[in-house]
Structure 1
């Protein structure tokens, strides 16, 4: 650019006059538009590999593994050649750039980013080559396994096969499953990384094209060096993404091919395992050999455990003696200054205490480990016995229960495994630290001897834990085999067995519900003069049994009430009311007796009502007082006999006959036949008329009037005759006929007589018949029953004219002239 600002453009050829600037700009614009229409050139050089095209890596959608070993070797050779060139060019300068001006045009962060991308590029190429090397070995193994699968026609040995052989097959199957699971996880990670680099590649390609265009525009300007650096960085980033995509795609294809081969071989191993299991049932002899071996191992561990326990006791005793010596020396020194000899002795005793503490701790941990090994043997023996039990074809319910036990054992073993691994890891750190202390300079011979002894203690503990870990792994494998056998047996259960299992599950659920505890009562028992509190559970079973006994007892008690009432009426000559009351009281007594018997028979203590009594009190306070009030009122009515069955009463304006007295309410049948349920408390709280409380006689009366002029003595005789004709009328008290009054229209008589109140006979009908009879006798003797009448006297000033009218003519006129 010309500093004078005259508008001329500086080029390699010199200065261009101003009139030609517009023409040159127009030509550049047309050329740039034409270049945009052309495809982007792909032959840009890489800052690391000038001879390599940035798109040299194959696209992921067309990438495939080489078909044979020769193609694989050729691809590996190409990758190694690229790695050599990259490493050679990477070391051409201190900053790893062939361009010496890069240090001036790039920032330190950009240089670090470039070094990081170069390292990633090397790692991607190296992983790509390693994956190709792996596929050669994998294909070789797959070919061998395929040939083994095709050629296998059965086992060479004759069945039955030993249990060790079956367990080895199970271990091989478990190993293949673990490898497949690991490969699937690895494949998932590779796929995730592949997708990440594919997205990065889709972003880096357009950025690289933009940087190419920016560099071409900057040619001949002061920005040319900076734009070249940015273009080379964009190329490097794009090449890294392409190489990483190719590398991860190759690793993905390798993993998929490996996974397919392992799955095929797993099917083959499972087929061999099934074939061996079908002809090799577990025998008692095999289990006996295993149990014998475990017993021998137990005796060996028991001997070692006794030796270690003795060693632990000696270590504890020595530690205690050394601590006592140290405390005695510290007490002698006191708070004063110690002499050099005493300081040396204190230091030695403190070092000895630390050493003996380590030894005691090591002995204690060894004892714990040995006891754990004994428990592992117990687990192993139980598992082998259970495997023999499985060969006896147990039910599906038993298999399910045993599966739960094995699952619990596996969970416990996994916890043990975690503890053992953590202890081993801690011991590794202690061993490394102890070795560092031994190798430290300036260590005296005495201290060195102590430190080596501590190191040997740590190493012995680590070795013992390694043994325990190996035995633990063996028991875990054994439990895993048994769990697989249980699962396989469940899967092979027939429909009939599954139905039996479903019925057994239902029965177990009902049994569990049947034995569910509802309440735990405390029963006090005197044993040898001492009071012992014994808990007694109240279950659903006891409650149902007690309820059943109570229902049956109540039903029998109700059936006994009828013969009891008959006995009271016919043998003891009592009325029905007394019989009903006796029956009710007897039923109440029987109910209480049956209730107590139902509780005692199923061993439910009466102390349970200490809890129920509190609940009952709360219920009374919150609304049951009416129920209890009616119940108590019913008991009072039964015993005070103020109201009995058959009484004619009137309560709350309603009259009727008492037909039943219950515990809560009484049944009253009105005279119109309607039955009422009256709460018992109303008989005690309200005014009640009992017409038959003390006696069943009641005075009735019939009032009648006769016309003036009738023979009154005759009227009295006739009324007395009517009363005496009725047999239901009581002779005592004597009937009475009185002349009550001289009324306006008649002479008024009243007949009084007494009747027995009978629930069968309706006295109203009797009185009606007596009235009919009175009318008949009065008609026979010409006695008139008058109706009300009045005499009207007219006081007129002149006579009132009277004329006779033809009734027939008057009626005709009325028809012709209706009013």
Structure 2
């Protein structure tokens, strides 16, 4: 049987890593996909990834030789594993990390600190690394027993590579632990030496900034270590579970080895038992490395906290008594100016490279077009030119990004100069209003700069992703490929973009932290001011907000004026201050106009004997006209253009026009009534079935008082659009009629004389024209007489009262003369010549019963 056939008999299909035991499979997948040292392990595993690594044909060995060789290998590997770090026996709980109490429930999953010295750890790891490399070399020369699948062989090679990688990582961690412990001793020494060496106050504001920057740097470092340590602590249960699973698998492999009967079965079981022990070793070493890394982080975290505590105390002490001198401001401005000069020089260099890169891209594009026209798409020269074009375009884009970032940095440094000057004004200024303005502008600057940090962080993620993608692309390019250097240039371009945005992000985050500190300092400084100073600050704030409300612009309007024959359009804003000023000015003017109108009414009545109602109407119309002029004058004095009402354009203007057309129509009708004087105050009119005296003619409507005292408001337009009867239009004299019915047989001439005498005796009835009595009709029950008389309608004259007086007088005179006032009567005549016909009508049939 050939070697290929023997392999096929051992394993018909090559299983994936998912077919491995649970602990080893999970560990390898997580390590290869997520651990940064996965690529290192892959380099070690590379030589063992071929299926023909075991070249000697296993079938040519004798069974006894195979059995003895496997037993010897088993003993050697057992001795090798015995020298390793103990697996679960030494993995006791770690109760404290960096001096902090561990969380409840995590004690059973956290390994203990290494009890051996760093020298012992380093010596042990170095020795184990050499033995692991020797095992790798030995495995490359020896063959696996018959019946061992290719997947198991690949797993062994992978585990040996992981073991070598973990041991290398352990050596690095031991070195890092030495450095962390030395750093801790140095931090403790610095903390002890800093006690009692404080300089006397007052302190410079630059000193405070220096301490804060140092504290922020240490705080960020400590936070990063805390996050890493928390992640490691969360990984401890997984490592422990993998170790337990690997140990269980090792014990099962040992049982299989003891149950082997034939030399071939025993050789396979022994080989698998060594593979299981190798899994235990790798899982245990990963767990121990996590423990060692946690100890390194704990030492570093303790060092950071040791340095942070005195720094925070110094910041707290210095911030209570600081001074900001003009010299401090000048030194800061000089430093910012120097940094700005460097940025301008760097930006100039970037911009100078753009024409060269654009020219290169043009030449390469031309060469690529010619190459594509002459060759097929699979030509190597075309692909090289395409890569070269990608490289120069990446360089152009990187220069563009660099230019944008440098421009942003120049803007930041320019703004920093203004902010420092505002800070100086807020600290050293004596004017409350200027301090308030400085504080407000600094607060606004903080609000403006906050959205930029998330933006730069998003761009950093994009450029990191591009750089990682390019790294993966570069890994597929062979070292001898001519395009590799171009791919390296593309990677460098992506790297340059990321570095530039990291630079911008650091500046933005630093500026945001500084503004937050400054804002806190201002709050502390204001709280420590005297009552008089705080009162001045409150007054400044109150005045500021009052001005802000007063100058708040409601809307803006455009006003067109003609200057030197040309129309010039200017924009004017309508503010709350202008509006309130206009309202106040209008109210004052209205009070004056109202007072003048009342005085005018009194003069008209007293001196010019004008009727009171007429004088009242005149006053109202004069006041209305004065108010209209006052509105125009107020808008001009308040500098509010009349075009402010132009915003009522479009659909709104149409709606307002339809809504106010009735009001405008009545207003114009009132003006016409006053001008034409067809209807005046005191006239007796009849309009729309209403009869009464006109008492008022106002702007919108007129008031008509009926003879029953009820006042009716009639729109002015009704007097122009409808038929109106004005009984007193040309003369106040009005004829009235009184009708009387007397019984038949009465002396008609006597009745006429009595009626004339009664009319003549009444004082309100006019003699010219004289009254008149007419026999108008022979009624059903009486003779109808009509007394027509004239009266002069004045407000004091009531026609109904006059008619009533006449009736009283007529009734008395008729009684004296024996004249009867008839009343309704009817004669009934019965025909007695023949008897009355009486007929009994029977009830309708069917109404009873059913």
Q: What interval of TM-score do these two structures reach, taking the shorter chain for normalisation?
A: 0.5 to 0.7
Match status 1:275 vs 2:317: yes
Residue 592 of structure 1 aligns to a residue whose secondary structure is helix
- Aligned residues of 1:667 and 1:678 also touching (Cα < 8 A): yes
Aligned partners of 1:205 and 1:648: how far apart in 2?
122
Give, in whole Å, the separation in 1 of the partners of 2:257 and 2:698. Answer: 113
Residue of structure 2 equivalent to 1:549: 585
| Residues 78 and 560 (structure 1), Cα distance of their counterparts in 2 relative to 1, 3 Å cut | same
Q: Which has the larger radius of gyration?
A: 1
Equivalence for 1:90: 136
Give yes or no for contact 1:54–1:235 (8 Å, CA) kept in 2: no
Question: Do the aligned partners of residues 290 and 606 (structure 1) sit closer, same or farther apart at CA in structure 2, a change above 3 Å counting?
Answer: closer
TM-score, length-normalised on structure 2? Answer: 0.64
List aligned pairs for 1:392-407, cutoff 5 A.
Answer: 392=428, 395=435, 398-405=438-445
User: Which 10-residue stretch deviates more, 130-139 or 771-780?
Assistant: 130-139
- Secondary structure of 1:102's counterpart equals coil
2:760 matches 1:724: yes
| Alignment match of 1:754 (pick from 768, 790, 799) | 790
Q: Which residue of 1 aligns with 2:574?
A: 538
Measured in 1, the distance between the counterparts of 2:788 and 2:736 equals 6
Matches within 5 A, 1:778-797: 778-789=814-825
Of 807, 811, 821, the match for 1:771: 807
From 637, 641, 652, the equivalent of 1:605 is 641
Map Cα deviations across residues 2-50 of structure 1 (whole Å, 9 max, x no partner). Answer: xxxxxxxxxxxxxxxxxxxxxxxxxxxxxxxxxxxxxxxxx99869726
Instruction: Check the 8 A contact 1:701/1:752 in 2, yes or no.
Output: yes
Secondary structure at the counterpart of residue 727 of structure 1: coil
From 170, 179, 198, the equivalent of 2:221 is 179
Question: Residues 46 and 54 of structure 1 are in contact (CA less than 8 Å); yes or no, is this contact kept in structure 2?
Answer: no
The separation in 1 between residues aligned to 2:542 and 2:302, in whole angstroms, is 44
Distance 1:58 1:779, change over 3 A: same
State how far apart, in whole Å, the 2-side matches of 1:740 and 1:471 are. 114
Matched, 1:49 2:49: no
Q: Deviations over 1:387-428 (max 9, x none)?
A: 4323326656632422433676899999999999x99xx9xx
- What are the superposed Cα offsets for residues 250-277 of structure 1, whole Å, 9 maximum, x if unpaired? 4235424532442343121121233334
| Partner SS state of residue 155, structure 1 | coil
Range with bigger deviation, 266-275 or 149-158: 149-158
Tell me, in whole angstroms, the C-alpha distance in 2 between the residues paired with 1:67 and 1:198: 16
The change in CA–CA distance for 1:106 and 1:397 in structure 2 (over 3 A counts) is farther
- Change in 2 beyond 3 A, CA 1:659/1:134: farther
Unaligned 5+ runs, structure 1: 1-42, 324-363, 427-439, 441-457, 799-819
Q: Indicate the SS of the match to 1:754.
A: strand
Quickly say closer, same or farther: Cα 1:196–1:529, change in 2 above 3 A: farther
Q: How much has 1:592 moved relative to structure 2?
A: 2.2
Please name the residue that 1:494 is paired with.
527
Mapping for residues 322-401 of structure 1, pairs under 5 Å: 382=418, 384-392=420-428, 395=435, 398-401=438-441
CA–CA distance in structure 2, aligned partners of residues 365 and 242 of structure 1:
48
TM-score for both structures, normalised by structure 1: 0.66
Q: CA deviation at 1:94?
A: 0.8
- How much is the aligned-residue C-alpha RMSD, in angstroms? 5.4
The answer to whether the 8 Å contact 1:72/1:132 transfers is yes
Instruction: Report the Cα offset of residue 176 of structure 1.
Output: 0.9
SS of alignment partner, residue 735 of structure 2:
strand
Residue correspondence of structure 1 range 71-90 to structure 2 within 5 A = 71=117, 73-75=119-121, 77-90=123-136
Distance in 2 (alpha carbons) for counterparts of 1:221 and 1:687: 135
Residue number in structure 2 paired with 1:116: 158
Shift of 1:754: 1.7
Between the aligned partners of 2:228 and 2:268, the Cα distance in structure 1 is 42
Residue 666 of structure 1 deviates from its aligned partner by 3.7
Q: 1:372 to 1:716 in 2, by over 3 A?
A: closer
Deviates more, 1:610-619 or 1:165-174: 610-619
Q: 1:644-690: per-residue Cα shift (whole Å, max 9, x none)?
A: 44444344334444443444444444444444444444443444444
Name the CA shift for 1:388/1:764 in 2 (closer, same or farther; >3 Å). Answer: same
Matching of residues 134-153 of structure 1 within 5 Å:
134-146=176-188, 148-149=190-191, 152-153=194-195
Alignment-derived partner of residue 639 in structure 1: 675
- On the 8 A contact 1:45/1:54 being kept in 2, the answer is no
Unaligned runs of 5+ in 2: 1-74, 94-106, 360-399, 467-479, 481-491, 835-850
8 Å contact kept, 2:695–2:705? yes
Q: Deviations over 1:532-555 (max 9, x none)?
A: 333333334333433443344344
Q: Does the alignment pair 1:255 with 2:297?
A: yes
Instruction: Provide the C-alpha distance between the structure 2 equivalents of 1:234 and 1:577, rounded to a whole number of angstroms.
Output: 120
Q: What is the rounded CA distance, in whole Å, between the counterparts of 1:794 and 1:380 in structure 2?
A: 127
Instruction: Tell me how far apart the structure 1 counterparts of residues 273 and 698 of structure 2 sit (CA, whole Å).
Output: 109
- The answer on whether the counterparts of 2:113 and 2:292 sit within 8 Å (CA) in structure 1 is no
Structure-2 change in CA distance of 1:260 and 1:506 (3 Å): farther
**Cα distance per residue 1:492-542 (max 9 Å; x no partner):** 643989999888778656644543444443334455555433333333433
Contact 1:634 1:662 in 2 (8 A): yes
| Aligned-residue offset at 1:772 | 1.8
Any idea what SS the aligned residue of 1:391 has? helix
Higher normalized contact order (CA 8 Å, seq sep 6+, divided by chain length): 2
Q: Do 2:324 and 2:428's aligned partners in 1 also have CA atoms closer than 8 Å?
A: no
Look up the SS of the partner of 1:404 in the other structure.
helix
Q: Helix, strand or coil: the match of 1:786?
A: coil
> Helix, strand or coil for the counterpart of 2:822?
coil
Cα deviation 1:102-156 (Å, max 9, x = unaligned): 2754454543433333333344444455445544543454345445545654326
The CA deviation string for residues 589-629 of structure 1, in whole angstroms up to 9 with x for no partner, is: 21321121122112222344455465664225665444444
Q: Is the alpha carbon distance of 1:164 and 1:734 closer, same or farther for their aligned partners in structure 2, counting shifts above 3 Å?
A: closer
Tell me if the contact between 1:651 and 1:688 (Cα under 8 Å) persists in the aligned partners: yes
2:50 maps to none
**Which residue of structure 1 aligns with residue 770 of structure 2?**
734
In the alignment, the residues of structure 2 paired with residue 144 and residue 298 of structure 1 have an alpha-carbon distance, to the nearest angstrom, of: 33
Asked whether the 8 Å contact 2:184–2:302 carries over to 1, the reply is no
C-alpha separation in 2, matches of 1:299 and 1:286: 18
Cα distance per residue 1:423-482 (max 9 Å; x no partner): 9xx9xxxxxxxxxxxxx9xxxxxxxxxxxxxxxxx9xxx9xx99xx99999999688556
How far is 1:639 from its partner? 3.2
Question: Are 2:720 and 1:684 aligned?
Answer: yes
C-alpha contact (below 8 Å) 2:114/2:292 kept by paired residues: no
**8 Å Cα contact 2:685-2:724 kept in structure 1:** yes
